[in-house]
Amino acid sequence: MSAEPTHPGPVRHHDRGTWLVQFTGRVLVVCPRCGGRALVTPRHCLPEPRHLLFQPRRLTCGGCGAVAEWTAGQRGGGLVGAVPGGTEDPFFRRPLWLQTRCAGRILWAYDEEHVDALAAYVGARLRIRHASPTLGMFARLPAWMKSADRREEVLAGLTTLRALAGRTAPADRSDAAHERGDRPRHHGSLLFRGGPY
């Protein structure tokens, strides 16, 4: 007698080449002042650049009122933008709010939409790729997250992250949100302004 999965997922997942950067429009982080949940969002009122890795950001905390601003640095004639990935947000380098221990590692996400996308992929019994895997988020997931043997464990971790997204108090923070075990790369993305090369 086989056990039924506790998280029935879709039978198929169609990977259309979604990039991780597409989930950086709203990032839940640990507030630098109070330790509660803060939010990093783009500052849309400013002119160029509009690419998500270079767009100016604002960190705001509804609990203590902390506010911080981020703009892309400059190197020569180009802008140095953020690099997504890892357990810190790519802009302010704050620990992500959505982190939990899973399968002996840290499972993380930027926001609820990111959690839902991961759950749809992990829960699928058949995964169909429609795009080149070079920059796609799902193709770059670690093997332990893609493994059918770990499916239930990863889906349980994603359920924990979904519950964390609704909490805001410093005491609600996951103990995994204190670690820096999966640091993003230290270099930034480059955007060169000007005419042709």
pLDDT tens digit sequence for 146-191: 898 999 999 999 999 999 999 999 999 988 887 554 444 444 554 4
Q: In this structure, what token pair is assigned to residue 138?
A: 């799902």
Structure confidence at residue 83 (pLDDT) = 87
Structure confidence at residue 5 (pLDDT) = 45
Structure confidence at residue 183 (pLDDT) = 47
What global pTM score does this model have? 0.82
Structure confidence at residue 48 (pLDDT) = 56
Residue for token pair 């849309």? 44
The stretches in the chain having pLDDT less than 50 are 1-6, 181-187, 190-197
| Strand ranges in the chain using DSSP code E only, listed in sequence order | 12-15, 27-30, 37-42, 57-61, 67-70, 73-75, 78-81, 98-102, 105-109, 126-129, 189-192
Structure confidence at residue 172 (pLDDT) = 92
Q: In this structure, what token pair is assigned to residue 122?
A: 């992990």
Structure confidence at residue 180 (pLDDT) = 54
Q: In this structure, what token pair is assigned to residue 169?
A: 């108090």
Structure confidence at residue 177 (pLDDT) = 83
